[in-house]
Amino acid sequence: MNGYRGARTAMIVGAGVAGLTAATALAGAGWQVEIAEVNPSRATSGWGLCLTGPALRALAELGLADDCLTAGYGMSVITHVDVDGEPAGRARLPRLIGARQPAMAGIARPVLHRILHTEAEQRGVVVQQGLTVTAVDQEGELVRVQLSDGTVRQVALLVGADGIRSSARSLLGLETSLGYHGQMVWRALVPRPQWATGIHQFAGKADTAGLVPISAGQAYVFLTENGVEQSVLPEAELVPRLQQLLEAFPGRVEEIRPLVSVSESVVRRPVLTAFLEGAWNRGNGVVIGDAAHAPAPQMASGAALAIEDGLVLAEELGRHRSVGAGLDAFVSRRGQRCRTLVETSVAIAGLEHAQRHREAYPLTDAGHRLMAEPA
Ligand SMILES: Cc1cc2nc3c(=O)[nH]c(=O)nc-3n(C[C@H](O)[C@H](O)[C@H](O)COP(=O)(O)OP(=O)(O)OC[C@H]3O[C@@H](n4cnc5c(N)ncnc54)[C@H](O)[C@@H]3O)c2cc1C
């Protein structure tokens, strides 16, 4: 199709958490939305993630929090365990979607993506797999978007939601650098132990580990390796290496370690962060989600920020007469919150790196308090 023209038409680059939720929010506000997703298949890597209170609150606005809680695992407490295996405190997170609802939910990524895809498509969003954007030009009140299949769209709004290494960001002429903090993070899907009814976080002599339930039957183990160069390990080395790293932890981690040997999915990724200084918009194009602000995973808030972005974007575009004015209002409303969260996550990563775990807990609490404020 050589695309539509019109007042409330949007092209979104990337069908991740940010792209799908922004599409759903915009479609709900009457926009005609198409998504170009570079991945030819809908399969997502198999590890899980934690939807904190602000993520659930934003999903509730889209009518999706109950689906996520039903398909995932609701919980409200983070238990910190010290280097010696002794309890170091329990954080009870605020219940932002109601006193009787859990504060957060663990969920498998493919399950979350299925819920987000279904809702977006029910609202009329067209998701094109195996497609990307190759050129962007502002033409008066419209953006001319050239796609990798040779077709062109002329739309009122272009949203780059294509993650931390965003190409939409570069096509819009916006540049940022990625920060690496000497940490590689591991995730492994395991059967959920009966005692794991909330998040457990274990401080180690060199690394940090933990467990997050994502359904009645499943959980994921996480481990943050400190003071290492970015590297890629051969697939066959992942399970034995993760088990070896977990050997350094006493207490309940000894129960978790054997579960890793039966894990069908172990991944190891660098901790990368980004924050786009200045405007996130140019003409009628804007970047959202990790493309604009990617925190370290220690705050478990990247998805929350991404979902909030879509809601605030739809709201500000609805409030302003021109797309440009709506985008300016969006960026000024989101900038400080996202910057503080990214900076807090980087500070926590630094304290973990320096083995100053107890100093990291109040920062984490402050980050959660900030995120509990309305978006
Ligand atoms: C190990 C790890 C654990 C994490 N755990 C948590 C957690 O527990 N809780 C939490 O809230 N956050 C967590 N995060 C952060 C969270 O995953 C991100 O903040 C969130 O996924 C950002 O969503 P996004 O849609 O902006 O980007 P992404 O999820 O990266 O999605 C981008 C999408 O764009 C597509 N794409 C990329 N390039 C192109 C292109 N050129 N053209 C078209 N499409 C393109 C990609 O295929 C993808 O579908 C974690 C991150 C990591 C790395």
**Taking 60 as the threshold, does the pLDDT of residue 4 lie above it?**
no
Q: 260 and 136, same structural domain?
A: no
Percentage of the chain with pLDDT > 90?
A: 81
State in Å: Cα 1 to ligand 1 middle.
28
Examine the domain organization and report whether 131 and 16 are in the same domain. yes
Domain that holds residue 118: 9-73+103-177+273-372
Q: Give pairs for 146-152: CB < 8 Å, separation 24+.
A: 147/36, 148/36, 151/1, 151/2, 151/3, 152/2, 152/3
Nearest-atom number in ligand 1 for the CA of 304 is 11
* 90 domain residue, yes or no: no
Residue 331: which CATH number?
Answer: 3.50.50.60
User: Looking at per-residue confidence, does 357 or 321 come out higher?
Assistant: 321
Nearest CA, atom 3, ligand 1: 297
Pairing of strands 152-155, 179-191: unpaired
* Residue having the nearest C-alpha atom to atom 49 of ligand 1: 16
Residue 135 lies in a domain: yes
pLDDT > 90? residue 337:
yes
Answer yes or no: do 332 and 295 share one domain: yes
Domain boundary among 233, 250, 271: 271
Residue whose CA is at the smallest distance from ligand 1 atom 30: 163
Confidence at residue 3, expressed as pLDDT on a 0 to 100 scale: 52
User: Are 148 and 292 in a shared domain?
Assistant: yes
Distance 172 CA to ligand 1 centre (A): 20
Average pLDDT estimate for 301-316: 97
**Ligand 1 pocket check: which of 20, 47, 49 to mutate, most ligand atoms within 8 Å of Cβ?**
49
To test the ligand 1 pocket, which listed residue (35, 38, 223, 346) has its Cβ within 8 A of the most ligand atoms? 38
* Spatial contact of 143 and 158, defined as CB atoms under 8 Å apart: yes
State which of 271, 293, 322 marks the end of a domain.
271
Higher pLDDT, 87 or 343: 343
> Same domain, yes or no, for 43 and 135?
yes
What pLDDT is stored for residue 265 in this prediction? Answer: 82
Same domain, 50 and 126: yes
- Give me the count of residues in the chain: 375
Residue 186 belongs to a domain: yes
What is the domain-level CATH number for residue 266?
3.30.9.30
pLDDT exceeds 70 at position 161:
yes
In a domain, 197, yes or no: yes
**Residue 130: count of CB within 10 angstroms of its CB:** 12
Do 112 and 236 lie in one domain? The reply is no
Expressed in angstroms and rounded, the spacing between residue 291 Cα and the centre of ligand 1 is 9
Number of folded domains in the chain?
A: 2
**pLDDT tens digits, 25-35:** 999 999 999 99
Pair (131, 184) in one structural domain: no
| Rounded Cα–Cα distance for residues 249 and 81 (Å) | 10
Per-residue pLDDT at 46: 62
Tell me, in angstroms, the distance from the centre of ligand 1 to residue 268's CA. Answer: 15
Span 326-354, average pLDDT:
94
* 303 pLDDT higher than 60: yes
pLDDT for 295: 97
| Shared-domain flag, residues 161 and 259 | no
Is residue 61 located within the same domain as residue 195?
no
Q: State the closest ligand 1 atom to the C-alpha of 13, by its place in the atom list counted from 1.
A: 43
Distance 255 CA to ligand 1 centre (A): 30
Residue with tokens 């609202």: 123
The ligand 1 site (C-beta within 6 Å) comprises 13-19, 36-39, 49-50, 55, 132, 161-163, 167, 185, 187, 269, 289-291, 294, 297, 300-304, 306
Q: For atom 20 of ligand 1, which residue has the closest CA?
A: 303
Tell how far the Cα of 16 is from the centroid of ligand 1, in angstroms: 6
Q: How far does residue 36's CA lie from ligand 1's centre (Å)?
A: 15
pLDDT exceeds 80 at position 315: yes
Give the pTM: 0.95
> Measured in angstroms, how far is the CA atom of residue 17 from the centroid of ligand 1?
7
Residue 342 lies in a domain: yes
Report pLDDT digits (tens) over 65-118. Answer: 999 999 999 999 999 898 888 888 888 888 999 999 999 999 999 999 999 999
Please tell me the distance from the alpha carbon of residue 249 to that of residue 169, in angstroms, as a whole number: 41
Whether 260 and 365 map to the same domain: the answer is no
Q: Is the pLDDT of residue 6 over 80?
A: no
Residue 71 to residue 174: CA distance in whole angstroms? 37
62-65 contacts: CB < 8 A, separation 24 or more? 62/21, 62/24, 62/25, 62/28, 62/119, 62/307, 62/311, 63/119, 64/115, 64/116, 64/119, 65/97, 65/101
Average pLDDT, the chain: 93
pLDDT of amino acid 24: 98
Q: Which of 124, 120, 144, 171 is nearest to 16 (CA)?
A: 120
How close is the Cα of 290 to the center of ligand 1, in Å? 6
pLDDT at residue 191, as a whole number: 94
Look at residue 260 and give its three-state secondary structure.
helix
- Distance from residue 211's CA to the centre of ligand 1 (Å): 20
Is residue 306 classed as helix, strand or coil in its secondary structure?
helix
| Residue 167 within any structural domain of the chain | yes
Residue closest by Cα to atom 4 of ligand 1: 297
**Above 60 in pLDDT, residue 5?**
no
Q: Is residue 83 part of a domain?
A: no
- 10-67: pLDDT as tens digits: 999 999 999 999 999 999 999 999 999 999 998 776 689 999 999 999 999 999 999 9
The closest residue, in CA terms, to atom 35 on ligand 1 is 14
Residue 50 CA, ligand 1 centroid: distance in Å: 13
With a cut of 50, say whether residue 1 has pLDDT above it: no
Q: Atom of ligand 1 at shortest distance to CA of 290? A: 26
SS3 of residue 88 by DSSP: strand
Which of 271, 297, 313 is where one domain is finished? Answer: 271
Residue 32 is assigned to a structural domain of this protein: yes
Question: Do residue 152 and residue 285 come from a single domain?
Answer: yes
The whole-number pLDDT of residue 126 equals 98
Tell which atom from ligand 1 comes closest to the C-alpha of 20: 25
Q: What is the mean pLDDT of residues 114-132?
A: 98
